[in-house]
Amino acid sequence: MRSALLAAIVMAGLGPAAPAFAQCDPGTKLDKTTATDARKKMEAAGYRQVKDLKKGCDSAWHGRAVNKQGAPVDVMITPQGDVLLETNP
């Protein structure tokens, strides 16, 4: 009974949200950078405690880190290699 209820909730879209970068469109070509590459680049830009790295369908890496002032921030690396702060709309 419990598993049927859980399945119904998920199918109705009321369950936990899917990961933001779970699936790419067919034919999307991702570059060959790794999470280790992204972490090193973010650390070289001055960020510490880099975690939760995920690669988007656009080959941009997204993660969380601590900036020079000690505040947690969302950081991304563009496919061109630029390290940027992500902002919430």
Q: Along the 89 residues of the chain, how does pLDDT read in single tens digits?
A: 555 544 444 444 444 444 444 567 766 677 888 999 999 999 999 999 999 999 988 889 999 999 999 999 999 999 899 999 998 65
Tally of structural domains, the chain: 1
6 within domain boundaries: no
Range of the domain at 81: 20-85
CA distance linking residue 3 with residue 78, whole number of Å = 41
Torsion of CA 46, 76, 51, 71, to 10 degrees: 50
73 within domain boundaries: yes
Predicted pLDDT at 35: 93
Strand ordering across the sheet containing 61-66: 48-55, 61-66, 72-77, 83-85
Burial (CB < 10 A; 0-12, 13-18, 19+), residue 32, is exposed
